[in-house]
Amino acid sequence: MTADEFPLPSQPRPAVLHGYFRSSASWRVRIALRLKGLSVHHVAHHLRKGEQRSAAYLRLNPQGLVPTLELDDGTVLTQSLAIIHWLDDAYPDPPLRPKDVLERAKVEAFSLVLAADTHPVQNLAVLARLRAMGIAEPQVQKWAAEVNAAGLAACEALLRDTEGPFCFGDSPGVADICLVPQLGNARRFGVTVEQFPRLLAAEAACAGLAAFIEAVPSRQVDAE
């Protein structure tokens, strides 16, 4: 049974996902939608061309960021973790977060290390500001690599005493959804990810699942 076949009564359904193939935040939501068995129409906004700053898109998302999820009743949701948490509440099977409140707090702490403290300070907008300040490209790339490595090192430590094969147990959840795109980012910036064996083990567990395979940037219609 999938959420696509048996949505909860009265719940609006995801209809349109605005994103960009390489955006880590969009990547997270693509994984979550697929884990829930939900299909949406994808609308791409080329971040390097500034399409996310068009007047039409800013009416949907005043931050001019991706992703944005439009529901079939006209509701608009922004921020990847807020979208994923809504999906988990509205379509609870399979669950992406533990029911136990302490375990849930640990999962959300891990996720926030990546989604709030690591990804935002190495994204396109921040790197563009560094360049605009006259910082040389090698230093910009070094900044991005060091930010990625620091965040992943913290996450490796947070998983030190957890059982796998996924980040927190025997099924994928929001922690894995945040981890896989961040490892992709780290590789793009030349980080030696082999120093994080526990994270790589969780990534390997995800790699065989259709939801993660279908969500990778290279498989998206706007991939370059």
The answer on 165 and 150 residing in a single domain is: yes
Six-digit token pair at 78?
A: 């922004």
Please indicate, yes or no, whether residues 62 and 26 belong to a single structural domain of this protein: yes
182 shares a domain with 88: no
Residue in 7, 8, 29, 25 with CA at minimum distance from that of residue 17: 29
- Same domain, residue pair 72 and 174: no
pLDDT of residue 8: 53
Kindly state whether residues 116 and 185 are assigned to the same domain. yes
Shared domain check, 90 and 124: no
Residue 224 located in a structural domain: no
Could you list the pLDDT tens digit for every one of the 224 residues in the chain? Answer: 455 555 555 689 999 999 999 999 999 999 999 999 999 999 999 999 999 999 999 999 999 999 999 999 999 999 999 999 999 999 999 999 999 999 999 999 999 999 999 999 999 999 999 999 999 999 999 999 999 999 999 999 999 999 999 999 999 999 999 999 999 999 999 999 999 999 999 999 999 999 999 999 999 999 99
- Give domain status of residue 183, yes or no: yes
**Under 8 Å between Cβ of 95 and 88:** yes
Q: Show contacts of 164-171: CB within 8 Å, 24+ apart.
A: 164/198, 164/201, 164/202, 164/205, 165/201, 165/202, 165/204, 165/205, 166/202, 166/205, 166/206, 167/107, 167/110, 167/202, 168/98, 168/103, 168/106, 168/107, 168/110, 169/98, 171/94, 171/95
Q: Domain of residue 164: give its range.
A: 101-213
Residues 111 and 130 in one domain: yes
Q: Which of 64, 94, 124 is the last residue of a domain?
A: 94
Asked whether residue 105 falls in the same domain as residue 198, the answer is: yes
9: phi > 0 → left, psi -120 to 50 → alpha, else beta; which? beta
Question: Domain of 67: which CATH number?
Answer: 3.40.30.10
Domain boundary pick from 94, 121, 154: 94
Whether 68 is covered by a domain: the verdict is yes
Short-list 188, 216, 182, 185, CA closest to 202: 182
Query: Does residue 196 sit within a domain?
Result: yes
Q: Is residue 56 part of a domain?
A: yes
Q: Report yes or no: 170 and 98 within 8 Å, Cβ to Cβ.
A: no
Residues 88 and 106 occupy one common structural domain: no
On the 0-12 / 13-18 / 19+ scale of CB atoms within 10 A, 174 is buried
d(CA 106, CA 77): 25
Looking at the structure of the chain, the number of domains it has is 2
Looking at residue 11, its pLDDT comes to: 81
How many beta carbons lie within 10 A of that of residue 50, not counting itself? 10
Of 146, 161, 163, nearest to 202 by C-alpha is 163
Same domain, 205 and 108: yes
The answer to the question of residue 135 being in a domain is yes
In this structure, are 41 and 128 located in the same domain? no
Domain end: 44, 63, 94, which one? 94
In a domain, 37, yes or no: yes
Domain presence at residue 86: yes
